[in-house]
A and B are shown apart, each in its own frame.
Chain A
Amino acid sequence: MEKLYCTIYIVDISQNPEEEEAVTSRIQQLIEDHGGIIQRINRWGKKRLAYPIQKKTHGYYVEIEFTAKSVLNIPAILEQEYRVNDRVLRYLTYVVDKKELIQRAKKAGKKAEKEAPAAEKKETPAAPEAPPAEAPAAEPEAPQVTEPAETENPPVAETEAPVTEEAQEAAQESEEKKEEK
């Protein structure tokens, strides 16, 4: 059965910043050699780790989405590689759930809706990031490999807009908690 997989890994770039490209090309090659089709490569970039891993505080996050038949057992092959490769600090490979795709489509739709009024209002930072956010929705049909030059970061972009609302809610919640106590 054809499945959509997502693999995320953290590369240690403290010694050599080019290490990330070497690892990514290796993983890409592995996937393609074993019969997977790469749908999307998303470089989150250098991020601070929430806790030190192997005494490193920063790592380079890369996310690759690919489709493959489950018989090929690509995740196991990838895991072997990740384990051997000591530049990889962490990895996570999982089968993308149907619900996740629905949620992504929803978000892309919301973004498009928001875009019209947002252009008029003061939401200037959201406007330029909207086009890349729409891309994930169209992916399942059209296999496209995004160029490495693209440094878009949807997870961050998505959370930017509702921050104020959420902050308010969070504040409310903490107040409620205090009351309970």
Chain B
Amino acid sequence: MLRWKKKRICRFCEAGDVYIDFRDEKRLVRFLTEQGKIVPRRTSGNCAQHQRQLAKAIKRARHLALIPFVSDIPR
């Protein structure tokens, strides 16, 4: 029931962004889990368009070693 109350808004729509640039890794990192996985839409609240763009941006950034593929925290 808790989930129903919270209506998430796409952050990129809120900011009025048309394109998500893979160059600013600081922004992308916020949509990654601690391990470096892409956060699902149901958690981040992104709209479909922006989630697709985001996924692409993250993958490009990973390829260029701007953000890690995996970042395991030793426990």
Chain A complexes with chain B: yes
A166 to B65, CA, bound (A): 23
Identify which of B16, B23, B68, B69 gathers the most chain A CB atoms within 10 Å of its CB: B23
Q: In the assembled complex, which residues on chain B have CB atoms less than 8 Å from the CB atom of A166?
A: 26-27, 30
Do A10 and B65 touch across chains, with their CB atoms under 8 A apart? yes
Q: Is the interface of B mostly helix, strand, loop or mixed?
A: loop
Report whether over half of chain A's contact residues are helix, strand or loop; otherwise say mixed.
Answer: helix
Q: Say yes or no for A180: interface residue by CB 8 A criterion.
A: yes
Q: Which residue of A lies closest to B69 (CB)?
A: A51
Does A117 belong to the interface (CB within 8 Å)? Answer: no
Most buried by A among B23, B27, B62, B64: B64
Which partner residue on chain A sits nearest B15 by CB separation? A162
Q: Which of A155, A163, A176 contacts B23 (CB 8 A)?
A: A155
Total A residues in contact with B, Cβ cutoff 8 Å: 32
Report if B38 contacts A (CB, 8 A).
Answer: no
Q: Could you list which residues of chain B lie within 8 angstroms of chain A, going by C-beta atoms?
A: 2-3, 6, 11, 16-19, 21, 23-27, 30, 43, 60, 62-69
Binding site for B on A (CB under 8 A): 8, 10, 49-51, 53, 59, 61, 89-90, 92, 94, 97, 99-100, 102-103, 106, 154-156, 158-159, 163, 166, 169-170, 173, 176-177, 179-180
Beyond A158-B24, A163-B26, A169-B30, list 13 extra A-B contacts (CB 8 Å).
A8-B64, A49-B65, A50-B62, A90-B63, A92-B60, A99-B18, A100-B19, A100-B21, A159-B26, A176-B6, A177-B43, A179-B2, A180-B3
Please list 18 pairs of residues, one from A and one from B, whose beta carbons are closer than 8 Å in the complex, sorted by A's number: A8-B64, A10-B65, A50-B25, A50-B66, A51-B65, A51-B69, A92-B64, A94-B60, A99-B19, A100-B19, A103-B17, A154-B23, A155-B24, A159-B26, A159-B27, A163-B26, A169-B11, A179-B2
